[in-house]
Chain A
């Protein structure tokens, strides 16, 4: 049971916008710790998608964006493409200096 809660699955048609939530508490996200997001394609290692709540590493399309508010964070994907079908994970820290991942969200492109 992760301290960061994500919906198990989301879906959308090509071209649509989807959001994935990551809900924490006052001991992690709400304590001011940064939230990072990762994309994991089947059979591959995770890839950093968003760091420090809303920043994209070089090479990540601007269709991906992140935000954070109070005890939660969100990942938004606009202009959905078939290649976006993957598992997405949020990650933050807690007051015990432990990192933690959300349970993951499977994105299906209809």
Chain B
């Protein structure tokens, strides 16, 4: 049973860079896309971007200028960096697997990391 475990700094100041890590346990890293999604307090889900094991990425156009998603296949980890954060970036951030067996639906999710941006 695959599990995703994520971690990163939970409190940032405006203009800093958000950095999160998602580690994959109990399954294959290759053959999937790996996504980051966020959810501001009391609001809906927003897709941030995705990466595959070859390093090919797709990003939400509204965040593309500030987002970098990368991967370390040897460690079965992928990463999110979001630069120049503001209060509007305060959210719960999730990592998720997009599995080909589910037509690339997000079938496995991390536990979520709460990130607060405040001066």
Contacts and interface: CB of A to CB of B under 8 A. Distances in A.
A43 to B, nearest CB: 9
Contact of B109 (A45, A91, A100): A45
Contact of B46 (A34, A55, A101): A101
B106 A91 contact: yes
A38 B37 CA distance: 13
A36 B106 contact: yes
A103 interface: yes
A34 B37 CA distance: 18
A18 interface: no
Interface in B65-119: 94, 102-107, 109-112
Please tell me the size bucket of the interface on A.
20 to 34
Interface in A57-106: 57, 87, 89, 91, 96-104
Contact of A52 (B45, B59, B105, B111): B105
Contact of A48 (B105, B111, B112): B105
A55 B105 CA distance: 11
Interface in A30-60: 34, 36, 38, 40, 45-48, 51-52, 55, 57
Contact of B107 (A48, A97, A103): A48
Nearest to A40: B45
A41 to B, nearest CB: 12
B76 to A, nearest CB: 19
Interface of A: 2, 34, 36, 38, 40, 45-48, 51-52, 55, 57, 87, 89, 91, 96-104
Interface of B: 35, 37, 44-47, 50, 58-61, 94, 102-107, 109-112
- Closest 9 pairs (CB-CB, A-B): A51-B105, A52-B103, A36-B105, A104-B44, A45-B109, A99-B47, A101-B45, A51-B102, A97-B58
